[in-house]
Amino acid sequence: LGVTAQVDPVPTAEKLLGYLKDSGNDKLVRAHCPNAIAKLLEKTPPDAAIVKQSLNVFIDLAGSKKTTNEVLQSAVQALGMLGDGDMDLGQKIFATLKNVNEKGKNLQAKNFTAIALAQLGASVDDNHPIRTTTIKYLLEKMRKGKSTYRPWCGLALGAMAFYINGNGGTISSTVEHSLRDAFVDEKNPSRKGGYAIGLGLLKAETAKEDLRASMDTVSDASYRGYAAVALGLIGAREY
């Protein structure tokens, strides 16, 4: 339902929201609802009642200890997909995602908060406080966060730059420098791959040679694949 084009998506979104709110329904089916609702309402004005209602339900689910992991993960994703930092709910969405990352217990939901924060930060103009706040948070966690969350922050910063560039905006050069430093310093192939894709999405010209050289020194096949993809995303045809 989330990928069907509908003249008026509101009735379908309302039905899905009702199914999601009923905790007696199957948890896996419920877990598909937030994502589908966010896709259905993608072009609906942010101040529409159904959008605000949906976001408040996602916020409540993300903040409740009773929410199953599957529904929690989907609610986090949907907050990033549907949330707009310009809304009166913008700060509340940020606070909710931050809380899931710092106090939540499900690792995948915690990791998904990084991407959701990137989407939230990209939803506003270049000088908007939400943009500044999300970039600062992701940069801080990339430097000092838990080892499993750091590469997700690097990936998220690249994704944010990708979204922003697509909207005709720009992102601070500090992001590229910090992401490149994290990439160079990281020794773990799996985590290094996350930074590599982040650099690719950011189209980090300054990191091309570092990425290419890493393919000579890191033997891990999965990492080498990510590095190759990153070079392709940057457009490094010389390699």
Residue pLDDT, tens place only, 45-102: 999 999 999 999 999 999 999 999 999 999 999 999 999 988 889 999 999 999 999 9
- pLDDT number for residue 65: 92
Residue 211 has pLDDT above 90, yes or no: yes
From residue 73, give the alpha-carbon distance in Å to each of 12, 49, 109. Answer: 22, 24, 5
φ, ψ dihedrals at 138, nearest 5°: -65, -35
**Is residue 142 within 8 Å of 157, Cβ to Cβ?**
yes
In this prediction the pTM is: 0.93
Tell me what the pLDDT averaged over the chain comes to. Answer: 95
- pLDDT number for residue 190: 94
The burial of 103, by beta-carbon neighbours within 10 Å (0-12 exposed, 13-18 middle, 19 or more buried), is given as exposed
Q: How many CA atoms lie within 13 A of 149 on its CB side?
A: 25
Could you tell me where the DSSP H helices lie in the chain?
10-21, 27-40, 49-63, 69-82, 90-103, 107-122, 129-144, 150-166, 173-185, 189-202, 208-217, 221-234
Euclidean distance between CA atoms 120 and 174, whole angstroms: 19
Average pLDDT over residues 221-229: 96
The DSSP code for 44 is: S
Position of tokens 């940057």? Answer: 234
Residue 164 has pLDDT above 90, yes or no: yes
- pLDDT number for residue 186: 95
